Amino acid sequence: MDKPKIVVLGAGLGGTIAAYEINAAVKGRAEVMMVSESETYSFVPSNPWVAVRWREPEAIQVHLPPIFAKKKIGFTALGAKRLHASEKRLELNDGSSVNYDYLVIVTGPDLAFDEIEGLGPHGGHTVSICQTAHASAAAEAFERFVENPGPIVVGAVQGASCYGPAYEFALILDTELRRRKIRDKVPMTFVTAEPYIGHLGLDGVGDTKGLLESEMRERHIKWITNAKVAKVEAGMMHVEEVGEDGAVKKTHDLPFGFSMMLPAFRGVPAVRGIEGLTNPRGFILVDKHQRNPAFPEIFALGVCVAIPPTGPTPVPVGVPKTGFMIESMVTAIAANLDMVLDGKEPTAEATWNAVCLADFGDGGVAFVAQPQIPPRNVNWSASGKWVHLAKIGFEKYFLRKVRKGESEPFYEKLALHVMGIRKLRM
């Protein structure tokens, strides 16, 4: 009899380690296959460094096919055109199909630049760090900018859910401009949908408000919160600042010579709009075992999963899905598939805590939120040069694991050992 087939869709930060961990957990009882849209893995958290040439793209990328072959995990880089969930079938971009018994969706975000006129790297006027190729293009734009410096606008637009990288990039740019001794020629403004600096889509963690405001004040970065980007023109961003009642209280026309704005995310086209599978933004609906209620053979993890916002805000703000949470979703799904293959009901749950490192190049801010949504049992933040070093450790550790075809959670170790909070059992 054929073994059941488990297909993992998406070879990004979560999908790659999910394939490794599931393959190890099912111990030959199922065939595991990866459907990727590229042979190259990119370590997304290092993209801000690529955009200022602190990293070359190749240094954060891994060629996946030989590793998957060694681990005896099937691999295609053809990419999925469309999921046919009721037929348990993935239609690939060349018209062929892959059937599955179990599917793990890890497709990350579709970047909704098109929702704001003039936003983004494809025909718009702002650069992006969301993908490594975008970050490489941003590095070229940055080199042109430093020859003729002017104002910089960095931030995250209405509906964005990923704020850490926006802060990181603003502060990394500040560090790089100071190193180049041209910071005095560059007025900087941080524009964000968050109701206050350091909200991060999580209603703050520990004193992220105080820590990040203080960093920005010390580095002469002005900010606009409760901001909606109305439109972007070449060298000019039009921003509406919204009051508590949701009405526009002030408009800002912000000139810029260089700008990076994180877009809102939505589900990727291959899975969007499937009744029972996705919410209206195309994010995958899952229960506490990471399983879709309408299609119980489908599991999902990472940025593609639907999570409600922490609470109402004047401008829509989403909840981030970060490394620690992703690792814990991977572990839960591997355990659940192990149980399902034994004919049992899945019982494993992800912890959904947040442990984050925001690197500023010469320092940084770290936080631990347990659980992610307040009120919390652990609500801790701290800053210092050690955060920059820990982030380098995160990159090295993660890339080593991807190259070796192994999955071992990084963040739990970090939380327990590096931060010296061994008492926390998350």
Binding site for ligand FAD (CB under 6 A): 9-15, 35-38, 44-45, 47, 79-80, 106-108, 129-130, 162, 164-165, 268, 270, 302-304, 322-323, 326, 356-357
Q: Which residue has the tokens 């506490």?
A: 288
Q: How many CA atoms lie within 13 A of 394 on its CB side?
A: 26
Quick check: is 130 catalytic?
Answer: no
Please list, in sequence order, all residues whose beta carbon lies within 8 angstroms of the beta carbon of residue 40, skipping any fewer than 6 positions away.
61, 62, 63, 64
When the beta carbons of 44 and 335 are compared against ligand FAD, the nearer one is 44
Q: 10 Å Cβ neighbour count for 280?
A: 10
Which one, 106 or 152, has the nearer CB to ligand FAD? 106
- CA-CA distance, 325 to 303, in Å (whole number)? 10
Burial class (CB in 10 A: 0-12, 13-18, 19+), 91: middle
Q: Which two tokens stand for residue 146?
A: 């430093």
Q: Which is nearer to ligand FAD, 317 or 357 (CB)?
A: 357
Q: Identify whether 356 is a catalytic site residue.
A: yes
CB of 194 to ligand FAD, least distance (A): 16
The nearest distance, CB 131 to ligand FAD, in angstroms, is 8
Which residue minimizes CB distance to ligand FAD? 12
Q: How many contiguous H segments (helices) and E segments (strands) does the chain have? A: 9, 22
d(CA 7, CA 279) in angstroms, rounded, equals: 22
CB of 320 to ligand FAD, least distance (A): 6
Active-site residue (options: 64, 162, 284, 402): 162
Q: How many residues does the chain have?
A: 426
The smaller minimum CB distance to ligand FAD, of residues 129 and 229, is found at 129
Question: Which tokens belong to 351?
Answer: 């912890």
Helix crossing, 385-404 with 13-26: angle to 10°? 50
Type of residue numbered 388: H
Give the nearest distance from C-beta 68 to ligand FAD in angstroms. 14
| Residue 78 or 182 with smaller CB distance to ligand FAD | 78
Report the distance separating Cα 331 and Cα 261, nearest Å. 32
Quote the tokens at residue 243: 């009051």
Options 35, 139, 356, 365, the catalytic residue = 356
How many angstroms separate the first and last alpha carbons of the chain? Answer: 40
Q: Which residues pair with 334 in a beta bridge?
A: none
Residue closer to ligand FAD by CB (options 229, 369) is 369
Least separation in angstroms between residue 45's CB and ligand FAD is 3
Q: Which residues are catalytic?
A: 162, 356
